[in-house]
Structure 1
Amino acid sequence: MAVNNEIEYTSVDQLMLDPLNPRLGRGNTGPTVKQSTILNLMRDWTLDELAVSFLESGFWPQEALIVVREKLYGKDALVVIEGNRRLAALKFLQRAADGEKIDRRWREIIEETIPPADLFERVPYIEVETRKDVEAFLGFRHVTGIKEWKPAEKAEYIAKLIENSKLTYAQVMRKIGSKTPTVRQNYISYRLLLQMEGQEKIAVEYVEDKFSVLFLSLRTDGVQRYLDIDIQADPDEARKPVPDEKLKELANFALWLFGDEKRQPIVRDSRQVDQFGRVLLSKKAVEYLERSPRPSFEVAFSLAGGDEPEIIRLVEEAADNVESALSRAHRYAKSKKLRKAAQRLGEDALQLASLFAGLRDELNADKDN
Structure 2
Amino acid sequence: MAEKFTRADAEAGELLLDTNNPRFGLSRAATQDEALEMLVRGARLKELWDSINSQGWVDFEPLVALSKKVDGKWVVIEGNRRVAALQTLLEPERLPPSLAKRVPQISLLAQQSLKNQNGQKPLTLLLVDNRHDADAFIGFKHVNGPASWGSLAKAKFAQSMFQRLVDDGKDRPSALLAVQEALGDTNSTSIVRMIMAFKVFEQAIANDFISAEQLEDGVMGFSHLYTMMPNPASRVFLGLGEQAISAASITDNPVPPDKLENLNYMIGWLFGNETAGKVIKSQGTDRPKLQKVLAATASRETLIATGDLSQAIAELGLDVDDWRNRLTKLEKQAKDLSTDLFDLQDELAPDIAADAHRRAVAAERACKSIARTLAESNQKDLFGND
TM-score in terms of structure 1 length: 0.74
Query: Does the 8 Å contact 1:192/1:241 carry over to 2?
Result: yes
Aligned to 2:202: 194
Matching of residues 46-85 of structure 1 within 5 Å: 46-70=44-68, 72=70, 75-85=71-81
Give the secondary-structure state (helix, strand or coil) at the position aligned to 1:125: strand
- In structure 2, the gaps of 5 or more residues are 344-386
Instruction: Using the TM superposition, name which of 194-203 and 158-167 deviates more.
Output: 194-203
**What's 1:29 paired with?**
27
Q: Which of 304, 307, 318 lines up with 1:290 in the alignment?
A: 304
1:91-145 CA distance string (max 9 Å, x none): 11102599995633424x4257562154433222222222221111111111233
Q: TM-score, normalised by structure 2?
A: 0.71
Q: CA deviation at 1:184?
A: 0.3
Residue of structure 2 equivalent to 1:131: 131
RMSD across aligned C-alpha pairs, in angstroms? 3.5
Q: 1:232 and 1:99 mapped to 2: Cα distance? A: 46
CA distance in 2, matches of 1:42, 1:206: 16
State the alpha-carbon separation in 1 of the partners of residues 289 and 87 from structure 2: 48
CA distance in 1, matches of 2:155, 2:164: 14
Q: Which runs of 4+ in 1 moved over 6 A?
A: 97-100, 317-324
Q: Distance in 2 between matches of 1:176 and 1:321?
A: 45
Q: 1:284 to 1:314 in 2, by over 3 A?
A: farther
Offset, 1:318 = 10
Q: Aligned pair in 2 of structure 1 residues 188, 50: CA closer, same or farther (>3 Å)?
A: same
| Cα distance in 2 for residues equivalent to 1:201 and 1:114 | 46
From 72, 84, 87, the equivalent of 1:88 is: 84
Matched, 1:3 2:16: no
Kindly indicate whether the alpha-carbon contact (under 8 Å) linking 1:66 and 1:82 is maintained by their aligned counterparts in 2.
yes
**Counterpart position of 2:373:** none
5 Å matches for 1:201-220?
201=209, 209-220=220-231
Matches within 5 A, 1:130-279: 130-166=130-166, 168-178=175-185, 179-201=187-209, 209-230=220-241, 231-235=244-248, 237-261=250-274, 264-271=277-284, 272-279=286-293
Deviates more, 1:298-307 or 1:85-94: 298-307
Q: Cα gap change, 1:127/1:282 in structure 2, threshold over 3 Å: closer, same or farther?
A: same
Name the SS of the counterpart of 1:210 in structure 2. coil
Aligned partners of 1:12 and 1:105: how far apart in 2? 20
Find the aligned partners of 1:159 and 1:187 in 2 and give their Cα distance.
5
Unaligned runs of 5+ residues in structure 1 are: 329-369
Q: Which has the larger radius of gyration?
A: 1
Secondary structure (helix, strand or coil) at the match of 1:23 reads: coil
Q: Deviations over 1:270-298 (max 9, x none)?
A: 22112211111112201212333xx3111
Q: Distance in 2 between matches of 1:99 and 1:156?
A: 28
The number of residues matched between the two structures is 320
% identical aligned pairs:
23
